[in-house]
Structure 1
Amino acid sequence: MNEIELSTGVLQYVDSGDGPVVVLLHGLLMDASLWDGVIADLRSDHRCIAPTLPFGAHRRRMNDGADLSLRGIADLVLEFLDRLDLQDVVLVGNDTGGAVAQLVLGAEPKRVAKAVLASCEAFDNLPPGLTGRVLALSGQLSPRLFGAFMQQLRLKAVRRSPLAFGTLTKRGDATTAQWIRPLLEQPELRAETVRMLRAVFADRDLLTEAAADLRRFDRPALVVWAADDRVMPTEHGRRLAELLPQANFFEVADSYTLIPLDQPGEFAGLIRALCASAGR
Structure 2
Amino acid sequence: MTPELWRDDRLGTACEVRLPSGPVRFHDRGSGPALVFLHGYLVNANIWRKLVPLLADSFRCITPDLPLGSHAAPVNRDADLSPRGIARLVADLLRELDLRDVTLVGNDSGGAYAQVTAAAHPERIGGLVLSSCETPEDTWPPTPGGFGLLKATAATPLTYRALYQVLRVRRTWRWRNTYGWLAKYPIDAGTMNSYIRPVLTRRDIRFDGRKAIGSVSERYTRAAAARLTGLPVLLAWAEEDRVFPLARAERYAKTLGAELHRIDDSYTYVAEDQPERTAEIIRSWFGS
Q: Could you tell me which of 253, 264, 273 is aligned with 2:275? A: 264
**1:112-261 equivalences in 2 (<5 Å):** 112-125=125-138, 126-128=140-142, 129-140=144-155, 142-174=156-188, 175-200=191-216, 203-217=217-231, 219=232, 221-245=233-257, 247-261=258-272
Query: 267-276 or 129-138: which moved more?
Result: 129-138
Counterpart residue identity of residue 180, structure 2: G
Please list every run of 5 or more consecutive structure 2 residues that lacks an aligned counterpart in the other structure: 1-13
In structure 2, how many angstroms separate the alpha carbons of the residues matched to 1:116 and 1:157? 32
Kindly state the Cα deviation for residue 114 of structure 1 after the two structures are TM-superposed: 2.6
* TM-score (norm. length: structure 1): 0.91
Change (3 A) 1:105 1:240: farther
Cα deviation 1:202-254 (Å, max 9, x = unaligned)? x342222322111142x3x2101101100002122112212324x20111001
Task: Report if the CA contact (8 A) 2:83-2:212 is conserved.
Answer: no
Name 2:96's counterpart in structure 1.
83
Kindly state the Cα deviation for residue 163 of structure 1 after the two structures are TM-superposed: 1.6
* Identity value in percent: 38
Please list every run of 5 or more consecutive structure 1 residues that lacks an aligned counterpart in the other structure: none
In structure 1, how many angstroms separate the alpha carbons of the residues matched to 2:276 and 2:184? 15
Task: Report if the CA contact (8 A) 2:136-2:218 is conserved.
Answer: no
Task: Report if the CA contact (8 A) 1:90-1:275 is conserved.
Answer: no
Q: Secondary structure at the match of 1:49?
A: strand
- Aligned alpha-carbon RMSD (Å): 1.6
Task: Report if the CA contact (8 A) 1:161-1:167 is conserved.
Answer: yes
Kindly state the Cα deviation for residue 28 of structure 1 after the two structures are TM-superposed: 0.4
* TM-score (norm. length: structure 2): 0.89
Counterpart residue identity of residue 263, structure 1: Q
Task: Report if the CA contact (8 A) 1:124-1:207 is conserved.
Answer: no
Q: Does residue 69 of the first structure (1) align with residue 69 of the second (2)?
A: no
Kindly state the Cα deviation for residue 58 of structure 1 after the two structures are TM-superposed: 0.7
Name 2:7's counterpart in structure 1.
none
| Count, aligned residues | 271
Q: Secondary structure at the match of 1:165?
A: helix
Counterpart residue identity of residue 211, structure 1: A
Task: Report if the CA contact (8 A) 1:131-1:164 is conserved.
Answer: no
Q: Could you tell me which of 50, 56, 69 is aligned with 1:43? A: 56
